[in-house]
């Protein structure tokens, strides 16, 4: 069974901490994505990557960075966590148009 | 820029009744359109997608959606709702040129009454 896995389901961090969210896919997909999900706002694209070491900003990249050193792994980094980054973070991967596979999500709380 | 509007934040429907979820999009060219479902505690699952061709698209779990270019809509329907359909539903639009980037609507939460 194909999968996108995320390192944590729940995470609590303090303001100012550096936070790493990890995502791994086992489908050999070129494309990987990070979204955040907030009530009433749906999913908003933070960053995506279409190849190893390649990345593009999404709609809300401010305060985030990403790393893709291996094809199967895509990391989201919060350099200095703030309370407005409390959210559900979803990773996804795809081969062709249309994201078919999402991870279970990481619910991050920044206090 | 592309955008998606789901006008209904919550919908309550009785089990066995029909369901229609509205989705309106804004995009300058022919879009790729998608519906996803997120059940409580679960990840998003793709229900169906429209790329081209027949404007009535069949998906999984008995859902279908109709693309209406003149109305910039892609409404999701199910003839008879089951209690397990209680979930949040997201409409999304993708740009053909950009391929895999998707813009999502705000979601519609469906409650099913017994």
Tell me if residue B83 falls in helix, strand or coil. helix
Entry field: residues in chain B? 114
Residue of chain B nearest A104, judged by CA positions:
B43
**In which residue are the tokens 């919550």 written?**
B10
Higher pLDDT, A13 or B100: A13
Beta bridge partner(s), residue A32? A49, A93
Q: Hey, is the C-beta of A96 within 8 angstroms of any chain B C-beta?
A: yes
User: Cβ–Cβ of A42/B106 closer than 8 Å?
Assistant: yes
Q: Walk along chain A (111 residues) and give the pLDDT tens digit of each residue.
A: 668 999 999 999 999 999 999 999 998 988 899 999 998 889 999 999 988 989 999 999 999 999 999 999 999 999 999 999 999 999 999 877 677 789 999 999 999
Q: Token pair for residue B82?
A: 């089951």
Distance from CA of B19 to the nearest CA of A (A): 20
Q: Would you state the pLDDT for residue B57?
A: 96
pLDDT at position B96: 60
**In this complex, do B103 and A59 lie within 8 Å of one another by their Cβ atoms?**
yes
Touching check for A71 and chain B: CB below 8 Å?
no
Residue A77 bridge partners (DSSP): A20, A65
pLDDT of residue A18: 97
Distance CA A53, CA A47 (A): 13
The model's confidence at residue B89, banded by pLDDT at 50, 70 and 90, is very high
Tell me which residue in B4, B43, B105 faces A103 most closely, judged by beta carbons.
Answer: B43
Produce one character per residue of B36-56: b if its CB has 16 or more CB atoms within 10 Å, e if not. Answer: bbbeeeebbbbbbbbbeeeee
Count of beta carbons in the 10 Å neighbourhood of residue B106: 19
For residue B99, pLDDT over 60 is answered with no
Which pLDDT value is given to residue A12? 97
Above pLDDT 70, what percent of chain B?
96
Q: Which helix (H) or strand (E) holds A44?
A: strand A42-51
Q: Check pLDDT > 90 for residue B84.
A: yes
A51 touches chain B (CB under 8 A): no
In terms of Cβ atoms closer than 10 Å to its own Cβ (0-12, 13-18, 19+), residue B78 is buried
Closest chain A C-alpha to B112 CA, distance in angstroms: 20
Say whether A79 sits in a helix, a strand or coil.
coil
The pLDDT-based confidence of B97 (bands split at 50, 70, 90) is low
């Amino acid at each position: 069974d194909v999968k996108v896995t995320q390192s944590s389901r729940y995470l609590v961090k303090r303001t100012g901490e550096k936070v790493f969210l990890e995502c791994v896919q086992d489908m050999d997909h070129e494309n990987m994505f990070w979204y955040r999900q907030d009530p009433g706002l749906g999913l908003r694209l933070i960053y995506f990557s279409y190849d190893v070491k390649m990345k593009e900003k999404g709609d809300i990249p401010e305060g985030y960075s990403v790393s893709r050193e291996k094809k199967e792994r895509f990391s989201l980094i919060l350099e200095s966590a703030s309370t407005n980054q409390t959210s559900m973070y979803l990773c996804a991967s795809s081969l062709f148009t249309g994201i078919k596979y999402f991870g279970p999500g990481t619910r991050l709380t920044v206090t | 820029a592309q955008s998606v509007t789901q006008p209904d934040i919550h919908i309550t429907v009785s089990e066995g009744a029909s369901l229609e979820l509205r989705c309106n999009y804004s995009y300058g060219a022919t879009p790729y359109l998608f519906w996803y479902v997120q059940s409580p505690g679960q990840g998003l699952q793709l229900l169906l997608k429209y790329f081209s061709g027949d404007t009535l698209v069949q998906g999984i779990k008995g859902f279908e959606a109709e693309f209406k270019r003149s109305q910039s809509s892609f409404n999701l329907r199910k003839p008879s709702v089951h209690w397990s359909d209680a979930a949040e539903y997201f409409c999304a639009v993708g740009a053909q040129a950009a391929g895999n980037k998707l813009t999502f609507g705000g979601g519609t939460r469906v409650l099913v009454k017994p």
